[in-house]
Amino acid sequence: MATIERVDVYPLSLPRPDGAARAYRTSPPWLSVYGSRRETLVVRIVTDGGVSGWGEALAPVAPEVPGQIVARLLTPALIGADPLAVRPIVDRLRDLMRERGHLGGHQADALAAVDIALWDLAGKLTGQPVVQLLGGAYRDVVPTYVSGLPGKVDADRVAQARDWVARGVRRVKVGLGYGVRADIASVEALRAVHDDLRVAVDVHGVYDLADALRLGRALVALDAWFFEMPLAFEDVAGHADLAARLDIPIATGESLRHRLEFRPFVEARAVGLLQPDVGRTGITEGLAVAQYAETHHLPVAPHHSAGLGIAVAAGLHVCAAAGNLLAFEYHPTLFADVNRILATPLEPAATGMALPSGPGLGVEVDVDAVQRMVAT
């Protein structure tokens, strides 16, 4: 029987063509801190027979932090374990800090990277794709929607939307939050691009209930697709109040790591669309969240933003295994870096991405590229 022999931890910071140094800043009106470079956490788990499984956590800021959790806390509990006992291992690792209240945050991010690596390893050891280990695929091509449409003025966003429509895209998401009147004008401009273009709006939790309600009513009138993160991320009651007053799905979930965090939103009927990020939940909990949503007749549209190729592949496997999938988020402006750590590239696709074939996640990691990008 194979056992886990080694865990390698790689906090990555991808060099920029302009040579910009690592730095962190906010990007108003959005509240979170962002990095000047693309950053992520990659983990490799190696058996005593030399077989490797790769995982990645969505860690766009200071990936060294969850990396230290993997190295100092999770690795000692992994050494000598049976790599095929994925769910028992993950449960045991989650319990390590449960008494201290650390089921989320950096602890969960670290566990997500390990969880993905364990599933990749189990697939390689058994010769099966991860989706087969999860019970089988509902689909071989995962439907996607275009997310982003960057730009400070509506003319730029409209030009991009027209280009996507010409390529067959009919579902887009735009990041707003620049004031209710400005946001309404942006959505009006995008809705005018094509009668069948569905437009979702993400405002990153910048509004209070009154302004979110004003914007939401306008989005209903404009037949928008869904309204993402309208309020402070932890405001369950506010989201429930908003959802009860608006005939548009309220979407949330990218900041949540497990079912216990999703539960109050679901039970309060505060959400109509769940958006777990597999780079934060891992595969085990990501699929569990999708199945939990399904018991409440809710769809999932997994979030994806700054993760690289391993996280994309993991997200695709969970999407393929989820019976209640709406679509997977596709960021065209962020996809250029996805393949920088892969020996065999994933193909970008604006309307649907093919599930990677082969054992495990179905992607081959470029070890040299990973080692070159370790953060310093």
Q: Domain containing 37 — which CATH number?
A: 3.30.390.10
Q: Are 310 and 341 in contact (CB under 8 A)?
A: yes
Structural domain span for residue 25 = 4-128+368-372
User: Are residues 285 and 219 both part of a single domain?
Assistant: yes
Task: Tell me what percent of the residues of the chain surpass a pLDDT of 90.
Answer: 91
Supply the pLDDT for residue 31.
Answer: 84
pLDDT (tens digit, 9 = 90+) per residue, 173-188? 999 999 999 999 999 9
Question: Beta strand pairing status for 352-354 and 141-148?
Answer: antiparallel
Average pLDDT, the chain: 96
In angstroms, rounded to a whole number, what is the distance separating the alpha carbons of residues 122 and 62?
A: 29
Say how many domains are in the chain.
Answer: 2
Instruction: Phi first, then psi: give them for residue 128, nearest 5 degrees.
Output: -120, 145
User: Are residues 104 and 253 both part of a single domain?
Assistant: no
Supply the pLDDT for residue 282.
Answer: 98
User: Are residues 112 and 9 both part of a single domain?
Assistant: yes
User: Are residues 112 and 160 both part of a single domain?
Assistant: no
User: Are residues 60 and 79 both part of a single domain?
Assistant: yes
Position 17 pLDDT exceeds 90: no
User: Are residues 69 and 170 both part of a single domain?
Assistant: no
User: Are residues 193 and 328 both part of a single domain?
Assistant: yes
User: Are residues 173 and 189 both part of a single domain?
Assistant: yes
Q: Are 151 and 190 in contact (CB under 8 A)?
A: no
3-state secondary structure of 166: helix
User: Are residues 345 and 268 both part of a single domain?
Assistant: yes
Position 317 pLDDT exceeds 90: yes
Distances from the Cα of 306 to the Cα of 7, 219, 373, angstroms: 23, 27, 15
Mean pLDDT of 222-231: 98
Q: For position 277, which CATH number holds?
A: 3.20.20.120
Residue that is written with structure tokens 């970008």 in the block:
348
User: Are residues 262 and 228 both part of a single domain?
Assistant: yes
27 pLDDT tier (thresholds 50, 70, 90): confident
User: Are residues 192 and 330 both part of a single domain?
Assistant: yes
Instruction: Phi first, then psi: give them for residue 82, nearest 5 degrees.
Output: -75, 115
Mean pLDDT of 182-195: 98
In angstroms, rounded to a whole number, what is the distance separating the alpha carbons of residues 186 and 142?
A: 28
User: Are residues 37 and 73 both part of a single domain?
Assistant: yes
30 pLDDT tier (thresholds 50, 70, 90): confident
pLDDT (tens digit, 9 = 90+) per residue, 245-288? 999 999 999 999 999 999 999 999 999 999 999 999 999 999 99
Q: Residue 26, exposed/middle/buried by CB under 10 A (0-12, 13-18, 19+)?
A: exposed
